[in-house]
């Protein structure tokens, strides 16, 4: 009887053991967006180094940066000046055209049929899930390469995960402009805590941008990371995750991010949980060099060159032209300037057509409903009638949202 009881108890304990599952997505391509793939590969290493099972991590990245012709270090990617190569050992499960909104939602909800049998979340009601997204965004939407994923679609997937008991607790870290707008309707009863790089009405910012983008004396030629993203990861790199809480990390980030307003949404009841529940249970040994880097150069790094994500492509092209000084580099820079001016002009004309020039309508925050079908229609119609939104142009999705919902 005692043996049978012991076996039954051991089996129950095995079944009840919680695990950590993670989904990491860099939703952009092209060299001027270097920072997003660098962020996500760095995040991958944060999880691995803190003991998350690599089999439980699903990484999505276009994977065109490491071997881009402009990369001075072919096959390598850096998220910090003179930092380690984060591309080495970064296992990417979805690449190229497979990185899209449809597959992302399928991964989250465990729908391997949609992904063609590729890796999807297999978490259970006893597991914790960590999701990290890095890319561009707008009011009520985020970009995934050539797709847009709307807040109601993401919320629908999260609710499906909850209904299907795919997690015990879920933490969602999002790097994107207007990222707060993706979670304003997130209920507090889903056991989901969301932490965003920006509020619903502002840009996020690139970090370690030219001229502070050097590795081994060479300029990478693009921002190495994003301010909010490198803030949480550089903290997690050397923090004791078994004692630091979600709330602690949020407050640490607030001290460093000075161009946007990081926000938190959803269930606030478990912000006192330690990071080890979501980013890995292992207490990582910090080397002397890391401590020296943190305490002697930390203050300098907080002052590294930052760029509004909306203007990151222009900053990249300006730095490129400053270095090359060719007619071709000038034309590329001028093309981006023309594109920016074009978006400004288009929406000035729309405002004028509606007799709303200078009115506060498009300047104030917008409260989004749960159903964003009108915004989807407005974005699709604009792109078919006028032009496709660029990273800069996406800031005007707020104008379309105002037309739909005010």
Catalytic residues: 136, 177
| Sign of the torsion angle spanned by Cα atoms 354, 368, 29, 113 | negative
Residue with tokens 């005692």: 2
- Of 394, 405, 341, 335, the residue nearest 370 (C-alpha): 405
CA dist., res. 71 & res. 137, Å (int) = 25
Residue pair 161/140 in contact (Cβ under 8 Å)? The answer is no
- State how far the Cα of 97 lies from the Cα of 390, in Å rounded to an integer: 19
| Cβ count within 10 A of residue 212 | 17
**Smallest Cα–Cα separation from 397: which of 182, 186, 137, 206?**
137
DSSP state for residue 286 in the 8-state scheme: P
CB neighbour class for 287 (10 Å; exposed up to 12, middle 13-18, buried from 19) = exposed
- ω into 229 cis (within 30 of 0): no
Distance, CA of 166 to CA of 92 (rounded, Å): 22
Instruction: Give the whole-angstrom CA distance, residue 92 versus residue 98.
Output: 11
Number of residues that make up the chain: 406
């Amino acid at each position: 009887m005692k043996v049978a009881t012991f076996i039954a108890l051991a089996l129950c304990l095995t079944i009840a053991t919680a695990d950590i599952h993670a989904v990491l997505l860099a939703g952009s391509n092209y060299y001027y967006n270097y920072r997003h793939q660098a962020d996500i590969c760095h995040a991958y290493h944060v999880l691995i180094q803190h003991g998350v099972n690599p089999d439980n991590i699903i990484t999505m990245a276009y994977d065109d940066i490491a071997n881009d012709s402009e990369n001075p270090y072919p096959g390598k990617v850096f998220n910090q000046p003179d930092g380690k190569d984060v591309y080495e050992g970064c296992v990417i499960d979805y690449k190229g055209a497979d990185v899209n909104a449809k597959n992302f939602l399928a991964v989250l909800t465990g729908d391997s049929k949609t992904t063609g049998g590729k890796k999807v979340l297999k978490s259970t009601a006893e597991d914790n899930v960590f999701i990290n997204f890095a890319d561009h965004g707008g009011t009520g939407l985020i970009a995934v390469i050539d797709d847009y994923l709307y807040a109601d679609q993401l919320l629908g997937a999260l609710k499906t995960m909850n209904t299907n008991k795919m997690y015990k607790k879920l933490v969602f870290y999002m790097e994107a402009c207007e990222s707060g707008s993706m979670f304003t309707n997130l209920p507090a009863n889903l056991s989901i805590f969301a932490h965003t790089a920006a509020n619903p009405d502002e840009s996020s910012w690139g970090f370690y941008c030219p001229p502070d983008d050097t590795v081994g004396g060479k300029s990478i030629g693009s921002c190495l990371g994003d301010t909010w993203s490198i803030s949480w990861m550089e903290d997690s790199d050397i923090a004791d995750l078994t004692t630091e809480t979600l709330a602690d990390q949020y407050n640490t980030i607030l001290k460093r991010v000075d161009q946007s307003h990081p926000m938190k949404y959803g269930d606030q009841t478990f912000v006192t949980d330690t990071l080890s529940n979501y980013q890995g249970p292992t207490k990582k040994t910090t080397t002397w060099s890391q401590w020296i880097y943190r305490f002697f150069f930390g203050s300098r790094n907080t002052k590294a060159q930052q760029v509004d994500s909306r203007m990151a492509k222009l900053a990249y092209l300006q730095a490129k032209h400053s270095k090359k000084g060719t007619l071709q580099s000038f034309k590329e820079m001028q093309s981006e300037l023309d594109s920016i001016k074009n978006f400004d002009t288009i929406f000035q004309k729309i405002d004028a057509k509606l007799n709303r020039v200078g009115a506060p309508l498009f300047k104030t925050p917008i409260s989004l409903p749960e159903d964003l079908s009108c915004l989807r229609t407005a974005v699709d119609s604009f792109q078919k009638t006028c032009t496709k939104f660029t990273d800069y142009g996406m800031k005007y999705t707020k104008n379309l949202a105002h037309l739909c919902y005010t």
